[in-house]
Amino acid sequence: MTRYMEASLKILRAMVMEDKADMSRVMEYVVYLVKMSIFAQSFKWESLLRYDLEYRKRQVEIGLP
C-alpha cells in the first residue's frame, strides 16, 4: 500500500504542479485515493489492486480521464 500511495501522491503532485488538470479533476483523484485508503482497512491488498485495475479500465472504456 505504501508504494501505491507514494506513486499516487506523486501523480497528484504532478497534476497540480504542471497545471494539467483543473481542480475538479484533482479533487476526483483525491476522493478516489481516500476511498482506496478506506478499502485498504478492510480488504486484502491484492483485491484492491484488482479493483483499481478494473476501475481504470472502465474509465477508459467509457471515455473518462
Domain tally, the chain: 1
Q: How do residues 12-62 score in pLDDT, each as one tens digit?
A: 888 888 777 788 888 988 998 999 999 999 999 899 999 989 988 998 898
Residue 39's pLDDT is what? 92
Residue 1: pLDDT over 80: no
Instruction: Report which of 62, 63, 40 is spatially closest to residue 52, judged by C-alpha positions.
Output: 40
C-alpha angle with apex 4: 60 to 22, nearest 5 degrees?
A: 50
Q: How far apart are CA 64 and CA 9, in angstroms?
A: 20
Question: 0.85 exceeded by the pTM?
Answer: no
Instruction: Give, for 29, the enclosing helix (H) or strand (E).
Output: helix 23-40
Q: Which domain holds residue 49?
A: 2-61
